[in-house]
Structure 1
Amino acid sequence: MTMSEGDLAVTELAFVRREQIAPLPPPAMTTGPLAWVRDNLLSSILNVILTVVMTALAVWVIYEILDFLIFTAVWSGADREACLASPAQPVVGACWPFVKERAAYFVYGSYPIPERWRVDIFFAMLATGIVWLLWLNAPRRDIGAFYFFVIVPIVSYILLTGWPLIGLEAVDTALWGGVLVTIVVAWAGIVVSLPVGIVLALGRRSRMTTVRTLSVIFIEFVRGVPLITVLFMASVMLPLFVPDQWSPDKLLRALVGIALFASAYMAEVVRAGLAAIPKGQFEGAQAVGLGYWQMMRFIVLPQALKITIPNIVNTYIGLFKDTTLVFIVGIFDLLKTVEVSRIDPKWATPVTSTTGYAVAAIFYFVFCYGMSCYARATEARLARSERR
């Protein structure tokens, strides 16, 4: 049988692709950095003007900061003469020899030099506990929580205050200062505020009138006054109402005041999270036979705390920065050590104060920005788990 000319033409024109064509890349201006710049910074005339102005302002501010901290800074010297303007260096930036000489005072305050190894151990224990809790793949995080909330406070108290029975010389808290005090005050407030805040938030939502009334009174009273008032009440007024032998240590009074103040604010943060949970979650937990505390532990509180992660971290950041207020009641935190050091005649120069405050600013920025970054990473991880 012979093939006709028509069949032959059809056979020659027939074509079946056996390999898939590779997808073409998207247009260069619809994805990637260029598209982001166009859509967010150059989308209109007003945006272009604002982008140019803000870029110029940022470049100027960053250059001035780097110029003071690095380019025109003084890096060596024995006294104030090294940080004074001279014909050889008419513009003088940060006085880093001053920071180098006072670094130990910024960290330890007046803590006895032979005993400062105890502070170093405290810092190491605290850092270990934080990493253990925040590292998601860390082994036995339940033990890590017990270590952080029980072992570290007990051992740290013995280390820092001393215990003559085991050979540790007693160190009065009046000698504590600098970063040590800042970390202790912030750590105490952060550790205490969340559990106490949860209890207060649950108390405010309780059906028991007495519990609800007491919780509301405490929260509203503490939130209705500034922190400095709480500190003055704890440090100045409290000793007037108790005998001298019952009056607690000045630092302890500040710790209690800050912890209670932070707990009141944390209670409102947690209460907002509880209010955002749908009523069906409560009803579903009750329908499967869960008791009140089981329902809160396994169903409600995990969801409420997840919702309020940004607000919780924001409260922690504010608390960390508010620790500077303790210097007003005579406690030598980092800012107070800077204040004392900058008036030392040996280093009295026009740039000494600015250098000291720059060191404090860098310290607070690093810690607060670190907390913010971890919070964003946690939110992103939880968002990914919800999409799966």
Structure 2
Amino acid sequence: MRPVLFALLLALPLAARAQDIQWHGFLDLRIVDAAAQRSWIAGGTGKLRYGGGGTQGRFGGAALIGTAQLTPALLAYADVQFRNDDGASLELIEAYLRYRPVSLTPWRWSLKAGAFFPPVSLENDAIGWTSPWTLTPSAINSWVGEELRSTGTEFLVERRGAHSSIEARLAAFVGNDPAGEILAARGWSLGDASYGFGGQVREPDVYALEEGVVPPLRYRPFVELDQRLGWYADLTWRSQRHGRYSVMYYDNRADPTERSTYDGHTTFAWRTKFWGLGAQRRLGPIEIIAQAMTGSTLFTPSPSYTGETRFHAGYVLAGWARGEWRPALRLDLFSLRQIPPSEVPLSEHGNAITAALSWRPRPWLRVTGEVVRMESWRRQRILENAVAGRTDTQVQLGARLLF
């Protein structure tokens, strides 16, 4: 976090003379018919953002995003968001400087420094790292919003052609050693609660009790424990005719034997690495987005034990942008396997179907109705006297005010 603040402080004198400063944001209000099972955000084993049953008004969140064109080549960006799911929390989601000199040739390069999302998502490309298609992102991008953030530098080189382009990224980062812990402790989920710097992710209460900790058990996902650099690489091809295709590899290079104690709780380093594939293509009026991820995360809490979780997920989304209306349908599949299995295995598998319809009658207003139906099987639920297999449904009607 300190490198981010340092970079922003360096940018302040330039910001006063910036060529262009813009402020954007949103305020999100919803009516939610929640799933019956208690959400993991409240300490349960539910896999949707809202749980506990009942229909009531909810505060979805708020964001303030600032961009400043400091020079023709230098851009500053910051995103601050507020949520009140698990106590009021104002958190910095992203903050970085990007240097991209003007290029008069097909080749162009840029350098980004600060704190930013790794380029995993094809889905969340709207304001404040949200989806223009649904309220609830896929399982893959829900996890990215919860646990993945890169504090470091990213180098990008592009080769632009008349009808297509290719770009390659390489990044080195720190401050994401606990990434993967929530997958092992809770498994996959679907929710749009993105965490920022200073935020704390809550683990299911039954997991805390199994670890001998009195709930609630929380940890900070964006901390550095072992002083080792992580890295990722990404290759993307874009074509006017054929769409966009990408492949990515991520490795936080965490030392799984490292740990730290904060507020009486121990946070472990998890060695997390994965491959990601993505495709996006327009077929007539229909936009198709698909992503897949496969990887593993492990930690070594003692010399005699190493726990590994192998995870897999994918989704296909079909959307249709027609004037003020934007319907979308998405299918998610996900699974993970614990090695070696514990007495109550934390392995799981499941699927989810999300249907959404958005209406944007004004540039400053987006109204979205959404239904998420999830089937999942996880034996961890037995610890709270529930069945391992569940079907949960969450219905939302949201109004997002944009500026």
The bucket for the TM-score relative to the shorter chain is: under 0.3
Larger Rg: 1
Higher percent of residues as strand: 2
Higher percent of residues as helix: 1
Where relative contact order (Cα < 8 A, 6+ residues apart) is larger, the structure is 1
TM-score calculated relative to the size of structure 1: 0.23
TM-score calculated relative to the size of structure 2: 0.23
